[in-house]
């Protein structure tokens, strides 16, 4: 029995003394652990590079889509503006022919003529403003920030053209009023 107790004590003492030795770390890293860390960061960098490339690709596609949408918007607005200008020109021609007919009858149409001349000037201004807007559109699309450039084109030029068209229309309305007033005073 004594032998068993002594053997047991020796075993317990060895196990207690060996535990701190096993927990003790070395000051230099294990070479295998360093290479594992190095190899584990490489795939992470590759994944990050792929994600960055994908983001740039998506940005390029979005930029191309924005430019396409801007062109489509301007094309649609261009058709509308051109149609409005053509309608105003036809209306001006009709008013001019009406003025000539009334002049032949001896009606005083001086005020209507001045209003018509003013309307024709405004129609010409609208045409030139629209031509400027077309020219500036391409410059806006080729700039570094097409979104902000488009905002300037849309707000400054297109809306400016629309305002000039409205002013020309108002001048034509005034010419028609002057014609009606002249016709009423001649009767």
The domain containing residue 86 runs over which residues? 48-186
Does 132 fall in a domain?
A: yes
When divided into structural domains, the chain yields a total of: 1
Higher pLDDT, 74 or 143: 74
Does 162 fall in a domain?
A: yes
User: How many other β-carbons are positioned within 10 Å of the β-carbon of residue 123?
Assistant: 23
- Residue 7, SS3 per DSSP: helix
The C-alpha atoms of residue 160 and residue 130 are separated, in whole angstroms, by: 9
pLDDT in tens, 43-58: 778 888 888 888 888 8
Note if the pTM is more than 0.75: no
Does 22 fall in a domain?
A: no
User: How many other β-carbons are positioned within 10 Å of the β-carbon of residue 115?
Assistant: 23
pLDDT in tens, 97-137: 999 999 999 888 899 999 999 999 999 999 998 888 888 87
Does 90 fall in a domain?
A: yes
User: How many other β-carbons are positioned within 10 Å of the β-carbon of residue 106?
Assistant: 8
Greatest mean pLDDT among 1-10, 17-26, 64-73, 144-153 lies in 64-73
Does 159 fall in a domain?
A: yes
Does 69 fall in a domain?
A: yes
Does 86 fall in a domain?
A: yes
pLDDT in tens, 132-172: 888 887 777 777 776 777 777 777 677 888 999 999 999 99
Close Cβ partners of 143 (under 8 Å, ≥ 6 residues apart): 149
Give residue 13's pLDDT.
73
> Does position 22 have pLDDT exceeding 90, yes or no?
no
Does 175 fall in a domain?
A: yes
């Amino acid at each position: 029995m004594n032998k068993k107790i002594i053997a047991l004590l020796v075993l317990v003492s060895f196990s207690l003394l060996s535990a701190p030795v096993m927990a003790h770390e070395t000051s230099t890293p294990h070479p295998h652990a360093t290479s594992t860390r190095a190899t584990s960061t490489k795939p992470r960098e590759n994944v990050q590079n792929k994600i960055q490339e994908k983001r740039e690709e998506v940005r390029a596609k979005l930029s191309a889509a924005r430019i396409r949408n801007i062109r489509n918007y301007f094309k649609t607005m261009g058709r509308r503006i051109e149609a409005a200008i053509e309608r105003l020109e036809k209306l001006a021609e009709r008013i001019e022919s009406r003025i000539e007919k009334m002049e032949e009858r001896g009606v005083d149409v001086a005020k209507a003529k001045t209003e018509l001349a003013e309307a024709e000037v405004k129609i010409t201004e609208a045409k030139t403003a629209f031509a400027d807007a077309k020219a500036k559109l391409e410059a806006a699309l080729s700039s570094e920030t097409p979104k902000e450039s488009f905002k300037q084109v849309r707000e400054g030029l297109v809306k400016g053209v629309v305002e000039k068209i409205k002013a020309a229309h108002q001048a034509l309305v005034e010419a028609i009023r002057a014609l009606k007033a002249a016709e009423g005073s001649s009767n």
